[in-house]
Amino acid sequence: MKKILALIAAISLVTLTACGQANSAATLGDVTITQTDFQKTVATLVKEREGVDTSQMQLENGAALNRSQLRFMIITTIFDELAKELKLEISKTEMTTNRQDLVSQSGGEEQLANNLVGAQIASTNFERYIRAIIISDKLTTALKSSGIAEADISGKISELVTAKAKQLKIEINPRYGIWDNETGDVLAKDSAGDAIKSTPAN
């Protein structure tokens, strides 16, 4: 009887894990990027390309687009988690001001929309993008205040992001690939399940 119960428990665990992966695009600690939210983001981005002259834009499609969009959502989530850990508060005023600055720099709302398409950022992810910028700026200010040389700040922020990613134990739905902490990227997988890493040309 004990063996039967143990077998049932093991099967249940596998089933629950499979269901979790099916319903999530990625998990970062206790944060879940749901399949629904992720797929809506990709669909929105593709839809927003319509009516925009994309002939001079280098845009991704298919699996490559899925990986880049998932990476964007993961990285911005990592910045949010860093902000929580370091108690960095983002005010509505900061969000509004930064948005207005980006609109102004773009030359208006219409051009901003075009720029977002070119940058492969869905309008629904624009707020995530702004938050990440603000958090990065706050990290930069804090690092400068602690005596870090300006030339080293970018590297220090990358170290913080990598360390937080490892701490969060990021897991990705296998259909999209695997997460690589060292490169901070979503890597494709070959038929054997191994990650495919790009190699420089000789």
Domain ranges in the chain? 27-186
Instruction: Tell me how many degrees the CA angle 152-157-162 measures, rounded to the nearest 5.
Output: 125
What pLDDT does 194 receive?
53
Per-residue pLDDT of 58-113, as tens digits, reads 999 999 999 999 999 999 999 999 999 999 999 999 999 999 999 999 999 999 99
Q: Rounded to whole angstroms, how far apart are CA atoms 171 and 199? A: 24
What pLDDT does 138 receive?
97
Per-residue pLDDT of 154-178, as tens digits, reads 999 999 999 999 999 999 999 999 9
The CATH architecture of the domain made up of 27-186 is Orthogonal Bundle (1.10)
Q: If we measure between CA atoms, which residue out of 99, 81, 96, 184 comes closest to residue 139?
A: 81
Which of the four pLDDT bands, split at 50, 70 and 90, describes residue 189? confident
Which of the four pLDDT bands, split at 50, 70 and 90, describes residue 1? low
pLDDT of residue 2 exceeding 90, the answer is: no
8-37 core/surface letters (b: 16 or more CB in 10 A; e: else): eeeeeeeeeeeeebeebbbbbeeebbebee
